[in-house]
A and B are shown apart, each in its own frame.
Chain A
Amino acid sequence: MGGAGTHPIAAFISYELIATHCVGIANLLGVSGLAIACVMATHDLRALSVITKLICENERKGIPTFLSTCVTEPGAGSDAEDPEEFDQAILRTTSKKVEGGYRINGNKIFISNGSLASLHVVIAYDAAGKHRPEDMMVFLVDSDSKGITIPRNEKKMGQKVCSASEVVFDDVFVPEDMRCRTGTTKETAYAYSGLSNVLGMTRGVVGGFATGVAEGAYRIALDYVRRNEFLGQPMEQQQWVRIELANLARRAQVSRATYLGALFTGATMGLMEPAASGMDLKLPDALNEHTNVKKIRNQIVQSDMANKWFRLLANRQTLTGRETTCAYGDVAKVSCTELAMENCQKAITLMGKDGLRHEFGAEKLLRDTKLLQIYEGTNQVNLLDFIKRRVIRQFDTAL
Chain B
Amino acid sequence: MDSNNVDLETIAMMCKSIEDWCKANQTLIDELESQQNKTELSAVLFKELNQLGLLSILFDKDNLSQNQDDKIERLSMALVAEAAYQFARFSPSIALMLVQQNMASYLLADAPSTWVALPLYDAVVEWPFQLDIRQNNTKIFVRGHWKSIPLLFTADSLLLPVCGKNKASFKLVLVDLKAAEDKKLAVHSSGQMLGLRGCDFGDLELNNFEVLDDAVIRQGEAELNKIERLWSQAEVFMMAIRSGIYESAYTVARDYAKERWQGGKYIIDHSLIRKMLADLYQEKCALYESWQSIVARLDTASALSDGQMGLALKSGERLPWATSDGIQLLGGNGYMEDYNQARCFRDAKQCESLLGHPQARCFAIWQTELSA
The reply to whether the CB of B320 lies closer than 8 angstroms to some CB of chain A is: yes
The reply to whether the CB of B115 lies closer than 8 angstroms to some CB of chain A is: no
The reply to whether the CB of B121 lies closer than 8 angstroms to some CB of chain A is: yes
Q: Is there contact, CB below 8 Å, between B324 and A370?
A: yes
Q: Is there contact, CB below 8 Å, between B327 and A374?
A: yes
The reply to whether the CB of B50 lies closer than 8 angstroms to some CB of chain A is: no
The reply to whether the CB of B346 lies closer than 8 angstroms to some CB of chain A is: yes
Task: Give bound CA distance, A288 to B106, whole Å.
Answer: 79
A18 to chain B, nearest CB (A): 21
Q: Is there contact, CB below 8 Å, between B336 and A155?
A: yes
Interface residues of A in 197-237 (CB under 8 A from B): 229-232
Residues in B neighbouring A375, C-beta threshold 8 A = 332
**Do most interface residues of chain B lie in helix, strand or loop, or is the interface mixed?**
helix
Q: Is there contact, CB below 8 Å, between A374 and B359?
A: no
Q: Is there contact, CB below 8 Å, between A352 and B195?
A: no
Known: A88-B264, A374-B327. A157 touches B192 (CB 8 A): no
Task: Give bound CA distance, A333 to B263, whole Å.
Answer: 22
Known: A88-B262, A358-B191, A370-B335. A353 touches B122 (CB 8 A): yes
Known: A77-B331, A348-B349, A380-B328. A157 touches B336 (CB 8 A): yes
Residue-wise, chain B 344-372 has the 8 Å CB interface mask toward A (1 for contact) of: 01100110110011111001000000000
A74 to chain B, nearest CB (A): 10
Q: Is there contact, CB below 8 Å, between B346 and A357?
A: no
Interface residues of B in 195-254 (CB under 8 A from A): 195
Task: Give bound CA distance, A232 to B129, whole Å.
Answer: 6
Known: A157-B336, A157-B337. A353 touches B331 (CB 8 A): no
Task: Give bound CA distance, A375 to B335, whole Å.
Answer: 10
Task: Give bound CA distance, A374 to B325, whole Å.
Answer: 11
Which of A75, A90, A231, A356 contacts B353, CB < 8 Å? A356
Interface core residue of B262, B276, B324 (most chain A CB under 10 Å): B262
Which of B320, B336, B337, B357 contacts A230, CB < 8 Å? B357
Which of B193, B327, B363 contacts A356, CB < 8 Å? B193
Report the contact-size class of chain A (Cβ under 8 Å from the partner): 35 or more
Which of A156, A349, A357, A378 contacts B352, CB < 8 Å? A349
Residues in A neighbouring B125, C-beta threshold 8 A = 231
Task: Give bound CA distance, A378 to B276, whole Å.
Answer: 14
Which of A77, A156, A349, A378 contacts B336, CB < 8 Å? A156
9-residue interface stretch from A96-104, A186-194, A295-303, A359-367: A359-367
Q: Is there contact, CB below 8 Å, between A79 and B263?
A: yes
Which of B122, B193, B345 contacts A370, CB < 8 Å? B345
The reply to whether the CB of A267 lies closer than 8 angstroms to some CB of chain B is: no
Task: Give bound CA distance, A156 to B336, whole Å.
Answer: 4
The reply to whether the CB of A154 lies closer than 8 angstroms to some CB of chain B is: yes
Residues in A neighbouring B359, C-beta threshold 8 A = 230, 240, 349-350
Q: Is there contact, CB below 8 Å, between A357 and B148?
A: yes
The reply to whether the CB of A307 lies closer than 8 angstroms to some CB of chain B is: no
Residue of B nearest to A345 (CB): B320
Interface residues of B in 298-348 (CB under 8 A from A): 317, 320-321, 324, 327-328, 331-332, 334-338, 342, 345-346
Q: Is there contact, CB below 8 Å, between B195 and A157?
A: no
The reply to whether the CB of B261 lies closer than 8 angstroms to some CB of chain A is: yes
Task: Give bound CA distance, A110 to B190, whole Å.
Answer: 31
Residue-wise, chain A 147-171 has the 8 Å CB interface mask toward B (1 for contact) of: 0000000111110000000000000
Q: Is there contact, CB below 8 Å, between A356 and B350?
A: yes
The reply to whether the CB of B144 lies closer than 8 angstroms to some CB of chain A is: no
Q: Is there contact, CB below 8 Å, between A352 and B349?
A: no
The reply to whether the CB of A95 lies closer than 8 angstroms to some CB of chain B is: no
Residues in B neighbouring A380, C-beta threshold 8 A = 272, 276, 328
The reply to whether the CB of B147 lies closer than 8 angstroms to some CB of chain A is: yes
Q: Is there contact, CB below 8 Å, between B332 and A110?
A: yes
The reply to whether the CB of A379 lies closer than 8 angstroms to some CB of chain B is: yes
B8 to chain A, nearest CB (A): 36
Task: Give bound CA distance, A78 to B264, whole Å.
Answer: 13
B146 to chain A, nearest CB (A): 10
Residues in A neighbouring B349, C-beta threshold 8 A = 345, 348, 356, 363, 366
Which of A231, A357, A366 contacts B147, CB < 8 Å? A357
Residues in B neighbouring A341, C-beta threshold 8 A = 324
Residue of B nearest to A85 (CB): B263
Task: Give bound CA distance, A354 to B203, whole Å.
Answer: 11
A140 to chain B, nearest CB (A): 24
Q: Is there contact, CB below 8 Å, between A230 and B332?
A: no
Q: Is there contact, CB below 8 Å, between A378 and B328?
A: yes
Residues in A neighbouring B112, C-beta threshold 8 A = none
B347 to chain A, nearest CB (A): 11
Q: Is there contact, CB below 8 Å, between A231 and B350?
A: no
Task: Give bound CA distance, A19 to B345, whole Å.
Answer: 22
Task: Give bound CA distance, A88 to B262, whole Å.
Answer: 7
The reply to whether the CB of A17 lies closer than 8 angstroms to some CB of chain B is: no
B279 to chain A, nearest CB (A): 13
Interface residues of B in 67-98 (CB under 8 A from A): none
Residues of A within 8 A of B (CB): 72, 75-79, 85, 88-90, 109-110, 154-158, 229-232, 240, 341, 345, 348-350, 352-359, 363, 366-367, 370-371, 373-375, 378-380, 384
14 new A-B contacts, CB < 8 A, other than A155-B336, A366-B349, are: A72-B332, A76-B262, A85-B263, A110-B332, A155-B338, A158-B335, A231-B363, A345-B321, A348-B349, A349-B317, A353-B122, A356-B193, A356-B353, A358-B193
Residues of B within 8 A of A (CB): 121-122, 125-126, 128-129, 147-148, 190-195, 261-264, 272, 276, 317, 320-321, 324, 327-328, 331-332, 334-338, 342, 345-346, 349-350, 352-353, 356-360, 363
